[in-house]
């Protein structure tokens, strides 16, 4: 037996899935948390039941990846029954999807979830009208309290196909459906889809296209809009019968503060800046402790062993990589994730996304991109992982470029340590200026040239709630462990390779080979090329390596201010680190990863070269 959980975003599908399967799928108060199919098993009276957790969708006739996925699953009759989860406090919009799902005629149970929220809002629910309309079982549940979740599987096992509900459409649409049904022996649903340009029968699509054009010219509305309006009206009439009593409106609505431009944007900015400051201050404090402990208890004792040179080099490479990885992972990534998880679960992130939506549109994304872009200031690795939240591949591609250009905390170390201390504070800020300018320009260009559909943002304002500490830590840990188990092994391998190259003098040869180019292009000595390469492993290593290669930590005495400035700009723009490349590979594939890498290298060299030409 196979059951699929389907419903709007953020209605509690994943929470129900977790409770039924005992798995730890991500649950979050942010629409679009589940982006792929999740499968799990549960056992009921010695029968194994497979459950599928679908990403949330608002309708089945859109063209996003999630909608196509849900449509395919229903069309293929992959599930023996669907468990339609509904947020009962947003019944009208949820019924819209429910009616569409019912059209597939697959056995179904309806779960009216969030009964607790409804009770709090003083709503009185009568599931009768839905039960009568569809002829299926309707369960009132509160997943957050585990209420009535146990009734879902037995009901799904006994589920029967819903009754055919014929939504009355506009008479032109009805006439079109009738003639398509007759001409192509198509059913009502297929004909309706064809009128909206969906389906895979070319003849049907062509005929439907012609009729749709005619209707559109008469109505000045697309057929999809007409159908949607009719369906919404129908859904509203049912919702009005289900919800029989409405409570008086709450006295102060926090959203009137959070989503209005004037207090909203300053609040958003202070939250973002506060978060960055908190993570930098606490993160660098913790990083200092970790690095020191590592020196004291791992690196120094290891050096005291006086192993043969090759073994020592290998051992040190591994220890340094561990130090670097743990130094970033724990302090920055974990703190960031705790805070982001709190912001998500409290429901604030949807307000932030709403506010940022306008600005984000200009760079080809919508408000949802605030999460990855903010995360990137801490570390690009979790930021790249979170671009999964974005709805379309087009946006994910644009985001993968922009996110990897955001100066992460390691790059801040370079800007502060090299430019800030040897050139000046103003110069340090100008590096940020250059980087932000380039990010903006890149976004503007990419939003024009990246193929794929543009989507408006339909983001539901999830309710504001107090985040559950258990859920928050669990989620932060799940994300951190991705970093530890995916990025760390690569850091280790990369470090060993670089250590060996150094040991056998290949780095030195490389440096002298590069010398003519770095001098001609950037006006920098050859050893800086080696430092740039080390920067791929971990950005602040570029600083340390530069000091080692220059033979002094007082960089100002060996390099001019201009050289230091150019070095910092190139390093900051130059290729994301190895760990970022790895997660990029996984999230967006090898082509885009290659493009991002080549682009950032070219951009670094180009801007560095330009500065050299202009200022030297
Ligand atoms: N108060 C209350 N909160 C709930 C209930 N069910 C789920 N939630 C919360 O609603 C939020 C969304 O839950 P998810 O399970 O992630 O929702 P989803 O339907 O899987 O969402 P997507 O993956 O985005 O489609 C989480 O913060 C849950 O804790 C409920 O019955 N009552
Ligand atoms: Mg989910």
pLDDT tens, 206-245? 999 999 999 999 888 888 889 989 999 999 999 999 988 7
CB 61 within 8 A of CB 69: no
Q: Given this model, what pLDDT does residue 26 score?
A: 63
pLDDT for the residue numbered 249? 56
pLDDT in tens, 532-560: 877 776 665 677 777 777 777 788 888 99
For residue 34 and ligand 1, the question of a CB distance below 6 A is answered with: yes
Ligand nearest to the CA of 475: 1
Does ligand 1 have an atom closer than 6 angstroms to the CB of 114? yes
| Residue 446: band (very low, low, confident or very high) from pLDDT cuts 50, 70, 90 | very high
Q: Of ligand 1's atoms, which has the minimum distance to the CA of residue 28?
A: 16
Per the model's pLDDT, the better-predicted residue between 43 and 69 turns out to be 69
Place of tokens 């062509």: 206
Domains of the chain, residue spans: 2-157, 171-245, 251-616
The answer to whether 490 touches 578, Cβ cutoff 8 Å, is yes
How far apart CA 195 and CA 198 sit, in angstroms, is 7
Phi/psi at 244 (5° precision): -95, -20
Q: Evaluate: CB of 142 within 6 angstroms of ligand 1.
A: yes
Q: What pLDDT is recorded for position 553?
A: 75
Whether ipTM exceeds 0.90: yes
pLDDT tens string 21-42: 876 666 666 666 666 778 888 8
CA of 485 to the centre of ligand 2 (A): 23
**In 13-100, at which residue ranges do the beta strands (DSSP E only) sit?**
38-44, 47-53, 81-87
3-state DSSP call for residue 185? Answer: coil
54 lines ligand 1 (CB under 6 A): no
Q: Which two structure tokens, joined as six digits, stand for 553?
A: 């930590």
CA of 25 to the centre of ligand 2 (A): 8
DSSP 445: H
144 ligand 1 Cβ < 6 A: yes
pLDDT at 525: 87
Q: Residues 449-463: pLDDT tens digits?
A: 888 766 555 566 777
Read off the pLDDT of residues 292-346 as tens digits, 9 standing for 90 and up.
898 899 989 999 999 998 899 888 888 887 887 787 667 877 887 888 889 888 9
Residue 576: the pLDDT is: 81
What is the pLDDT at residue 412?
79
Write out pLDDT tens, residues 242-272. Answer: 988 765 555 567 777 787 778 888 998 898 8
Q: pLDDT tens-digit profile of 387-420?
A: 887 878 888 999 999 999 998 877 877 888 789 8
Q: Which CATH superfamily, name and number, covers 2-157?
A: P-loop containing nucleotide triphosphate hydrolases (3.40.50.300)
Give the bridge partners for 110, in sequence order.
84, 138
What 3-state DSSP class applies to 96?
helix
CA 29 – ligand 2 centroid, Å: 9
pLDDT, residue 239, reads 92
Question: 538 or 286, which is more confident?
Answer: 286
Residue-wise over 88-123: b if at least 16 C-beta within 10 A, else e?
Answer: bbbbbbbbbbbbbbbbbebbbbbbbbbbbbbeebeb
The closest ligand to the CA of 459 turns out to be: 1
* C-alpha 30 – ligand 2 centre gap (Å): 9
CB of residue 86 inside a 6 A radius of ligand 1: no
Q: What does the pLDDT look like over 123-149, one tens digit per residue?
A: 889 999 999 999 999 999 998 888 888
Q: pLDDT tens digit string along 151-185?
A: 999 999 999 999 988 888 999 999 999 999 999 98
Of 180, 230, 246, the residue nearest 208 (C-alpha): 180
What's the average model confidence in pLDDT over 274-290? 82
How many C-beta atoms surround the C-beta of residue 197 within 10 A?
15
Mean pLDDT over the full length of the chain: 86
Cβ atoms within 10 Å, residue 492: 18
Q: Give dist(CA 180, CA 195) in Å, integer.
A: 9
Note the pLDDT of residue 464.
83
Tell whether ligand 1 has an atom less than 6 A from the beta carbon of residue 66.
no
Residue bearing the bigger pLDDT, 552 or 472: 472
Nearest ligand 1 atom, CA 15: 15
197 CA → ligand 2 middle, Å: 28
For 344-389, give the DSSP string: HHHTHHHHHHHHHHHHHHHTT--GGGHHHHHHHHH-HHHHHHHGGG
Protein residues within 5 Å, CB atom, of ion ligand 2: 13-14, 33-34
pLDDT at 438: 96
């Amino acid at each position: 037996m196979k059951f699929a959980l389907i419903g709007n975003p953020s209605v509690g599908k994943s929470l129900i899935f977790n409770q039924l399967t005992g798995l730890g799928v991500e649950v979050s108060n942010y629409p679009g948390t589940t982006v792929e199919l999740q499968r799990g098993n549960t056992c009921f009276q010695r029968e194994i039941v497979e459950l599928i957790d679908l990403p949330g969708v608002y309708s089945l006739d859109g063209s996003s990846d999630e909608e196509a996925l849900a449509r395919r699953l229903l069309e293929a009759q992959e599930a023996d029954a669907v468990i339609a989860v509904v947020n009962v406090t947003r019944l009208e919009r949820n019924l819209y999807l429910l009616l569409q799902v019912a059209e597939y005629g697959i056995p179904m149970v309806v779960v009216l979830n969030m009964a607790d929220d409804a009770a709090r809002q003083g709503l009185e629910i009568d599931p009768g009208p839905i039960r009568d309309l569809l002829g299926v079982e309707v369960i009132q549940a509160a997943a957050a309290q585990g209420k009535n979740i146990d009734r879902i599987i037995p009901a799904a096992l006994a589920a029967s196909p819903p009754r055919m509900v014929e939504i009355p459409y506009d008479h032109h649409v009805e006439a079109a459906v009738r003639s398509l049904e007759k001409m192509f022996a198509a059913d009502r649903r297929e004909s309706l889809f064809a009128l909206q340009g969906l389906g895979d029968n070319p003849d049907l699509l062509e005929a439907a296209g012609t009729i749709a054009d005619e209707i559109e010219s008469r109505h000045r509305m697309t057929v999809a809009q007409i159908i949607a309006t009719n369906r919404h009206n129908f859904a509203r009439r049912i919702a009005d019968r289900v919800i029989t009593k409405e409570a008086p409106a709450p006295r102060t609505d926090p959203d009137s503060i959070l989503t209005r431009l004037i207090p909203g944007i300053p609040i958003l900015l202070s939250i973002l800046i506060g978060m960055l400051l908190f993570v930098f201050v606490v993160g660098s404090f913790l990083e200092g402790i970790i690095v020191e402990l590592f020196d004291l208890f791992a690196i120094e004792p290891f050096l005291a062993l006086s192993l043969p040179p090759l073994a020592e080099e290998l051992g040190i490479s591994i220890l340094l990589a561990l130090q670097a990885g743990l130094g970033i992972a724990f302090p920055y990534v974990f703190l960031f994730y705790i805070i982001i998880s709190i912001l998500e679960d409290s429901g604030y992130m949807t307000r932030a996304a709403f506010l940022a939506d306008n600005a984000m549109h200009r760079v080809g994304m919508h408000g949802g991109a605030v999460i990855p872009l903010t995360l990137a200031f801490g570390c690009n690795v979790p930021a790249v992982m979170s671009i999964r939240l974005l709805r379309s591949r087009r946006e994910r591609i644009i985001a993968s470029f922009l996110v990897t250009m955001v100066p992460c905390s390691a790059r801040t170390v370079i800007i502060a340590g090299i430019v800030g201390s040897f050139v000046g504070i103003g110069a340090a800020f100008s590096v940020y200026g250059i980087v932000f300018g380039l990010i903006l320009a890149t976004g503007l260009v990419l939003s024009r040239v990246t193929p794929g559909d543009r989507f408006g943002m339909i983001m539901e304002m999830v309710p504001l709630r107090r985040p559950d500490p258990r859920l928050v830590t669990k989620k932060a840990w799940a994300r951190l462990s991705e970093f530890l188990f995916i990025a760390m092994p690569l850091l280790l391998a990369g470090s060993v390779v670089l250590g060996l190259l150094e040991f056998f003098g290949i780095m030195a040869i490389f440096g002298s080979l590069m010398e003519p180019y770095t001098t001609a292009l950037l006006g920098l000595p050859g050893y800086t090329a080696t430092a740039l390469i080390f920067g791929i492993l971990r950005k602040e290593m570029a600083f340390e390596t530069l000091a080692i290669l220059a033979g002094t930590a007082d960089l100002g005495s060996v390099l001019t201010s201009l050289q230091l400035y150019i070095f910092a700009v190139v390093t900051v723009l130059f290729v994301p680190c190895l760990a970022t490349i790895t997660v990029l590979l996984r999230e967006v594939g090898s082509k885009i990863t290659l493009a991002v890498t080549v682009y950032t290298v070219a951009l670094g060299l180009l801007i560095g070269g330009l500065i050299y030409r202009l200022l030297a």
